[in-house]
Amino acid sequence: MGADAPTDRHLLFGRIPLDWAVTLALFLLAAALRVWGVHWSLPYVIHADESRIVDVGARIVKTGDLDPHWYVYPSLTMYLQAAVYKLNLIWGTWRGYYVGPQSIPDQNHILALAPELYLWGRTFNALVGAATVAGLYWLGRSIFGRAAGLAAALLLLMSPLHIEHSHYLMTDVPMAALGVAALAASWKLATSPGVRIALVAGLLVGLCAGAKYNGAYVAIVPAVAWLLGWKLWQGKGEPPTLRSRRFVQWLAVAVAMAASSLAGFLGSNPFVLLNWRDWTRGFLFEVNDYQPVTSLGAMWVAFTTYVAGFWATEGIVVVASALSAVILLAAIARGNRRGKEDSKLVRAAWLLLLFPLAYTLLMSRYEQVRERNMVVIVPFLSLIAGYGASKVAEVIASRVALKGPLLPLLRNQLALAGLVALLLAAEPAREVVNFDVYMNMTDSRNAAFSWLQQELRQGHRAAVELHPWLVCAPEPWSCASPDIYAPLQQLTNRPPQWYAERGYDYVVLVGKEKAVLEQEDVSGIRPAAALATYMALPLVRYFPGDDDGGKGPPVFVLRTTPDPLASMRNVTPVQARYGDIAELYGYTLAPLAKATDYYDPATEPPTPATARYKAGQAVGLNLYWRSLKDGKGDNRNWTVAVHLSDAKGAVVAQVDVVPFSHGRSRPVSEWYKGEFLDGTYNVALPPSLAPGSYHLTVSLYDAPTGPALPVTTSSTADQPTLDLGAIKVGD
């Protein structure tokens, strides 16, 4: 057993070292299975814990303050993610996506305004998982030989649990990677004991705990290695007593290893000391959240829950590792009977067999059972199973009596061990591919929004249960479709007619009986009567959810009216064209107490032509524009001019602003063809305005001094302004 000595036959094509070729192949394949689908659901953030890490990392990049100010998780993963985000910021600034650290949002939960942070962070975790697979090959090669290393790496490569959590921006996969590194150092400590490797093993344990608090349990592995290394450390000719000089030295090594572990933890979590009070509060919150058990019965329930969950996900590896453990122990027993104990096998058994069971028992001290906590033991079980696969391959290679072209393959233990591992991983591989295919699918809400953007260009308007930031994010982030009504509440709280009267011919429901929104206080069961009213509407498009072969919640697009603009209440149509840029579909007028007041034309009674406006108050004006072409590339400063003029043509009140849409500035350069802009342009009336008749006009000009676009209606052509008629100002 042990590492294979390099020979010429371990060169691929006579040039490339076989080990490096295998390492590269394992890494690339593992990376492909882990990176595939890391964009899942973005910009929607489904995994609530991811946003915590992203927010801390983003804050560190923006402020330069290394204090996480959140200690429910240890800090190492957040520091690593902050480094990734810094690279993303540099790249994004160079590419023009960012204009500096202020472009990174402060909060990234529910819906990510900067989804690249998640994409880069998840990709980093996926690559860490792939590196763990490649590293496991070298560790297995060192412990059991090349064939066992390959089999172990292939089993981890196809591990459903490891692949799933490599897709998440969480702490488990980095902790598992550090756990493998700690195991490698512990193997070295157990077989070639020394101070330096003991310090490295301790440091890696500290980093494990620095990535995730329960990573501290990995200390079991170097502790066992320290005990195993004692026999080799004591040397020959000196009695192995507790008072011997060598034992005192070895005890000092244990103390140094513990100190190194503490240094690793504090080095990756410096604010344990610098902000002790807040760290203690966060740490205790996490401990209490896991709910420590109060009886052996509760511990047994937690243990069996862990085992059942792990069996459901990693049953193949559990069976293979259990059988391989029997083979390993049988080999040790056979050697003992012959008086030829294989000390390396014994050390391997102690290091690999003890930790998974001890770790599971320690985690069972808490009632809260989370499957992801078991990721760290998967490499240990893969190594044990890899040993068994290599022994099976050894038996086949030594006893095969076949002839023909397959003979060289069947005589090659490395190839056979890989084949055995692949056979074991066949069912997990099917699960993994299905999982990756699912993760790579477009979320139903994203698919609905992409489809809806094309419909908007065809003149449709929509009210949706999608997240408001998906359709129009706050400045300085992009606003794709400001005209979409996204109130972040159940649309079924209002009747379909309410949306039709405001010009929305589509309503987009997310979830059927249960509304699926991003705030728990507005998600939930829909009233049956309201839902029945909506389900009776014509179905325009259906985007299937998880239960129907899609991804995410089901999304229904329903039609409220065949003609959205004609259904709008109290809107006076004018259909005036302003050059080749825009059409003013119509407007509404109403007297207001002040210009900052809001009114909804669909709920107010129609404003009579004889309505009187008062000096010191305001003219409430809504304008409804339709874009005639894409505005991208048009850098002119197109400005809406609403002027109130007296009988002599003198302007007595005015509003000159960039076009508005739903309360947001919307320059022409941001328009897309077919966009509908619903904007408020209230005009404040001077307190000294004399009673009389005034005319209200609307023009669109290139500010500050550029020409106005010619206005064409059904009865006029090439006018500089559109006259909306006279308004009466009285006492």
- On average, the pLDDT of the chain sits at 90
Tell me what pLDDT residue 10 has.
Answer: 58
Predicted confidence band at 401 (pLDDT cuts at 50, 70, 90)?
Answer: low
Task: In whole angstroms, give the CA distance from residue 286 to residue 306.
Answer: 19
pTM of the model: 0.88
Q: Indicate whether 452 pLDDT > 70.
A: yes
CB 186 within 8 A of CB 139: no
Name the DSSP letter for residue 492: G
pLDDT above 90 covers a percentage of the chain that reads: 72
Predicted confidence band at 605 (pLDDT cuts at 50, 70, 90)?
Answer: confident
- Which comes out higher in pLDDT, residue 419 or 147? 147
All structural domains of the chain, each given as residue ranges with its CATH number in brackets, are: 8-31+42-433 (no CATH), 444-559 (no CATH), 572-730 (2.70.50.60)
Contacts 24+ apart (CB under 8 A), 643-647: 643/696, 643/697, 643/699, 643/721, 644/619, 644/683, 644/685, 644/694, 644/695, 644/696, 644/727, 645/694, 645/695, 645/697, 646/692, 646/694, 647/692, 647/693
* CA proximity to 368, closest of 294, 268, 291, 469: 291
Determine which of 42-46, 81-85, 521-525, 632-636 has the lowest per-residue pLDDT on average: 521-525
The residue type at 213: Y
b/e per residue, 573-610, with b = 16+ CB within 10 A? ebebbbeebbbbbbbbbbbbeebeeebebbeeeebeee
Predicted confidence band at 400 (pLDDT cuts at 50, 70, 90)?
Answer: low
| DSSP result, 375-393 | GGGHHHHHHHHHHHHHHHH
Predicted confidence band at 6 (pLDDT cuts at 50, 70, 90)?
Answer: very low
Task: In whole angstroms, give the CA distance from residue 530 to residue 499.
Answer: 14
φ, ψ dihedrals at 200, nearest 5°: -65, -45
Name the DSSP letter for residue 677: E
Question: CB burial class (10 A; 0-12, 13-18, 19+) of residue 384?
Answer: buried
Q: Indicate whether 254 pLDDT > 80.
A: yes
* CA proximity to 190, closest of 347, 349, 356: 347
* CA proximity to 134, closest of 122, 150, 121: 150
In the three-class reduction of DSSP (H, G, I as helix; E, B as strand; rest coil), residue 514 is classed as strand
Q: Indicate whether 99 pLDDT > 90.
A: no
Predicted confidence band at 461 (pLDDT cuts at 50, 70, 90)?
Answer: very high
Tell me what pLDDT residue 564 has.
Answer: 86
Predicted confidence band at 680 (pLDDT cuts at 50, 70, 90)?
Answer: very high
In the three-class reduction of DSSP (H, G, I as helix; E, B as strand; rest coil), residue 501 is classed as coil
Q: Indicate whether 243 pLDDT > 80.
A: no
Tell me what pLDDT residue 664 has.
Answer: 86
Task: Please state the separation of Cα 707 from the chain's center in Å.
Answer: 49
Tell me what pLDDT residue 287 has.
Answer: 92
In the three-class reduction of DSSP (H, G, I as helix; E, B as strand; rest coil), residue 607 is classed as coil
Over range 558-578, report the average pLDDT. 91
CB 220 within 8 A of CB 181: no
Give the pair of three-digit tokens for residue 161: 């649990």
pLDDT above 70 covers a percentage of the chain that reads: 94
Predicted confidence band at 30 (pLDDT cuts at 50, 70, 90)?
Answer: very high
* CA proximity to 510, closest of 453, 561, 447: 447
Q: Which residue has the tokens 């609403």?
A: 642
- Which comes out higher in pLDDT, residue 575 or 479? 575
φ, ψ dihedrals at 700, nearest 5°: -130, 115
Secondary structure of 336-363 in HEC code, one letter for each residue: HHCCCCCHHHHHHHHHHHHHHHHHHHHH
pLDDT per residue as tens digits for the range 408-418: 555 567 778 88
CB 625 within 8 A of CB 676: yes
Tell me what pLDDT residue 273 has.
Answer: 95
Determine which of 48-52, 453-457, 590-594, 606-610 has the lowest per-residue pLDDT on average: 606-610
Tell me what pLDDT residue 717 has.
Answer: 81
pLDDT per residue as tens digits for the range 374-398: 999 999 999 999 999 999 888 877 7
Q: Residue ranges of the alpha helices (H) in 212-341? A: 220-233, 245-268, 271-274, 276-290, 296-337
Phi-psi region of 145 (alpha: psi -120 to 50; beta: other; left: phi over 0): left
pLDDT per residue as tens digits for the range 175-213: 999 999 999 999 999 999 999 999 999 999 999 999 999
Please count the other Cβ atoms lying within 10 Å of the Cβ belonging to residue 365: 14
Q: Indicate whether 713 pLDDT > 70.
A: yes
Q: Indicate whether 7 pLDDT > 80.
A: no
CB 658 within 8 A of CB 667: yes
Tell me what pLDDT residue 5 has.
Answer: 44
Tell me what pLDDT residue 608 has.
Answer: 83
Predicted confidence band at 269 (pLDDT cuts at 50, 70, 90)?
Answer: very high
φ, ψ dihedrals at 317, nearest 5°: -65, -35
Over range 154-161, report the average pLDDT. 96
The residue type at 294: T
Q: Indicate whether 306 pLDDT > 80.
A: yes
Q: Which helix (H) or strand (E) holds 655?
A: strand 651-657
